[in-house]
Structure 1
Amino acid sequence: MILSKATYKEYLKSDAIALGLDINSFKFKLKNTFFPDFIWSFQKTLRQLEYYNNCKNKGLNKLYFYYLKYKFRNISLKLGFSIPINVFGPGLSIVHYGTIVINSASKIGKNCRIHACVNIGASGGEKEAPQLGDNVYIGPGAKIYGNIKIANNTAIGANAVVNKSFHEENTAIAGVPAKVIGKVNIKKIIKHI
């Protein structure tokens, strides 16, 4: 969670690395001026909103917070993302545009790589939502729901339906309902870690 200006900058840097962007280069700035990277804009606005919500939500900063909220809502609608603040750790990599729905009670660790059409939420009116560890890859169309925990260094396959906890690290899970299908070296899937 972003609790200071330093952690805000760390989150931005980690997200840019995860997306494979050199945000400080002249080439990126020039290209982004004419052909904006909307996923980077979304993630940058997400982190700004988290920073202002957690650290600077008093006085005149409150006005800027509401502006960021408005901007975040618009870009979320444009990209099809329903991602609340303070859910993802640093190093988030959203791979494609498309529907992504995340419950605000979910917690996802650092270096998450997430694809389109993913749904992470509560089950049957419960308040508890999934808790995912660090270095988790989530394939396209995966559905993860309920009061469950997913271990660090886990790869969740495309269209998997995950409704129970998986505590063993370095595993690949897939299927309907999901089950362990083998071991995985997560560094081969999430290249930047």
Structure 2
Amino acid sequence: MIDSKQAYHHYLKMDKVALGLEGHSFGFRLKEFLFPNYIGAFQKTLRKVEYYTNCKCNSVLGKLFLTYYKIKLRKRALKIGVSIPINVFGPGLSIVHYGTIVVNSASKVGKNCRIHACTNIGASGGSSKAPQIGDNVYIGPGAKIYGDIRIGNNIAIGANAVVHKSFEEDGIMIAGNPAKKIKSIDIKRIIRHI
């Protein structure tokens, strides 16, 4: 969770690395100017809202900035088709494509999550409890993760997997409907920036 300006800058830096946006060359900046990265803009605004919510909401000026960034975040979320609440994802978030991503605010996801389109992470059966997902997790397109479950570290969740039970063993791939362990993996081959 972003609880200081230093943490805010750390989250921004890790998100840029995860998205491959850490370039500083003239060519990189020209490309960003001509073809803006809306996902990167959304993630930056998400982190600003987290910062102002957690650190700056006690002052009048902080509340004004928070309101402004919340409006901006909503517009950017609608533009790329995501519903991601604040204070859910750790640093190093990488939203890979535009498309429907819906995440419950009670969910918690660790650092270096790579998430694809058409993914849902939510509660089940009227419960307020949602998945708690570890670090370095790859979530394939169309995955559905729901219920009061825990997902370990260094896990790859396959495309269209339906995960409704806990998988706390680290370094595995899970897939299928219902999801089951497929094999052991090295997550660094899938999430290359870690």
Question: TM-score interval w.r.t. the shorter chain?
Answer: over 0.9
Shift of 1:22: 1.8
User: What residue number does 2:172 align with?
Assistant: 171
User: What residue number does 1:120 align with?
Assistant: 121
User: What residue number does 1:38 align with?
Assistant: 38
User: What residue number does 1:9 align with?
Assistant: 9
Shift of 1:23: 4.8
Q: How does 1:32-181 map to 2 (within 5 A)?
A: 32-57=32-57, 58-181=59-182
In 2, are the aligned partners of 1:79 and 1:97 still within 8 Å (CA)? yes
In 2, are the aligned partners of 1:122 and 1:146 still within 8 Å (CA)? yes
2:159 partner letter = A
State the number of aligned residues. 193
Shift of 1:25: 3.8
Unaligned ranges ≥5, structure 1: none
Seq. identity, %: 67
Q: How does the TM-score come out when normalised to structure 1?
A: 0.98
CA distance in 1, matches of 2:111, 2:25: 24
Shift of 1:167: 1.0
In 2, are the aligned partners of 1:114 and 1:139 still within 8 Å (CA)? yes
Shift of 1:21: 1.3
- For each residue in 1:139-164, what CA deviation from the matched residue of structure 2 results, as whole angstroms up to 9, or x when unmatched? 00000000000000000000000000
Alpha-carbon RMSD: 0.9
1:20 partner letter = G
Shift of 1:29: 2.7
Shift of 1:27: 3.1
Unaligned ranges ≥5, structure 2: none
Where in structure 1 do 4 or more consecutive aligned residues deviate above 4 Å?
Answer: none
Shift of 1:3: 0.4
Shift of 1:33: 2.0
Residue 120 of structure 2 aligns to a residue whose secondary structure is strand
